[in-house]
Structure 1
């Protein structure tokens, strides 16, 4: 399947998510590329849209390997078993958090402005991205959403590698994906238009569906 763009992918994905529609459902897009997809899902389900801004706490020797994640409001999730296995100290992870926290706060203010984040306590949270490659960011987002009180987490993406559920593990309760191609190299290869989403587009999407 080749998606025309993120909006097209979102509309197709929404057809697989109609069973989750309800007053306790919130759609959360991963900025930036996941937000246009999430916008179409939120519209189809009549649900409010928010962003889940996360920053991975990467290993000092391999920043792409997530040892944890941080989110807005001081939320922090750390995999202590992985830290021990790699010999990463608490001081090292704290140093990483200082850097990532500053960037997280900048992005949160940029995307959300003065609007408070939606209350996820007891809600069904549909976490949406434009696709999954390594799965580390999506997994971190689900862990943060769980920490924020969501009672049910649905991770939904248009395209992912065939082992994507194993990569996420138990961070989500349910998984929805349109295509899991055998020869997967990058998310962008499955889009005709994979132009980078701008900060302005993220802010506009939130303003479109946001319930305060």
Structure 2
């Protein structure tokens, strides 16, 4: 029976957690992609008794058509580019660099906003579960995967409530496991599969993280 549409990100996270139950109590690190992936990740971390943190990723939008991704950047100075698309659209190196520089500034701002002075968690040798509220093209998730691989994780699981099958297949080779609640053929857009897909605010992200950092189950510097 289909679980679509989800009422909101919280319900989506609960549905996703059920698919991840075999990974409970394994000292996993659940990383939400801000903003929308964080409330989903919080539900997953709570259900799995896992640690919660964020992996900040910024889409590189096509100039003039910013909703279309030509790549992404992530924490750890990771840049992923769709080179064929960039060439096809005739985007100059100068214009591309302007977009990258702009998004790097925003990425740095968000990291300061979400983390403050809190240290990064320990990545080396851990199982990481990367969570978003959904995937469309996969560029931002691919950047996040590359970032955690550079940080020396033992295994990387991609976990999302909804995504198109072709995108999941394309990302599968980059991770150890893919968990997805629903993969509709007629995908179109992530928001189509939620009744409430209102924008998640920076304050909501900070609140989700604060609940973990300030509790005994929060990851702190562990």
Unaligned runs of 5+ in 2: 214-218
SS at match of 2:173: helix
Distance 1:99 1:191, change over 3 A: same
Name the counterpart of 2:190. Answer: 187
Aligned-pair CA distance for 1:54: 1.6
Q: Distance in 2 between matches of 1:122 and 1:66?
A: 31
2:105 matches 1:102 = yes
Q: 2:78 aligns with which of 62, 76, 79?
A: 76
Q: Label 1:119 to 1:91 Cα distance change in 2 as closer, same or farther (>3 A).
A: farther
Give matches, 1:9-48, under 5 Å.
Answer: 9-48=12-51
Residues 172, 178 of structure 2: 8 Å contact kept? no
Q: Deviations over 1:62-113 (max 9, x none)?
A: 7644445231xx523455x937x83878766554432221111101111112
Contact 2:78 2:146 in 1 (8 A): no
Q: Does 1:204 align with 2:198?
A: no
Q: Is the 8 A contact 1:125 1:153 kept in 2?
A: yes
Provide the secondary structure at the position in 2 that maps to 1:163: helix
Q: Name the SS for the 1:119 alignment partner.
A: coil
Partners of 1:195 and 1:96 in 2: CA distance: 26
C-alpha RMSD of matched pairs (Å): 2.5
The 2-side partners of 1:189 and 1:157 are apart by 15
1:147 aligns with 2:162: no
Matched pairs, number = 209
Determine the C-alpha separation between the residues in 2 that align with 1:120 and 1:67. 24
Question: What SS does the corresponding residue of 1:138 show, helix, strand or coil?
Answer: helix
Contact 1:2 1:191 in 2 (8 A): yes
Does the Cα contact within 8 Å between 2:73 and 2:104 map onto a contact in 1? no
* Higher mean displacement: 55-64 or 27-36: 55-64
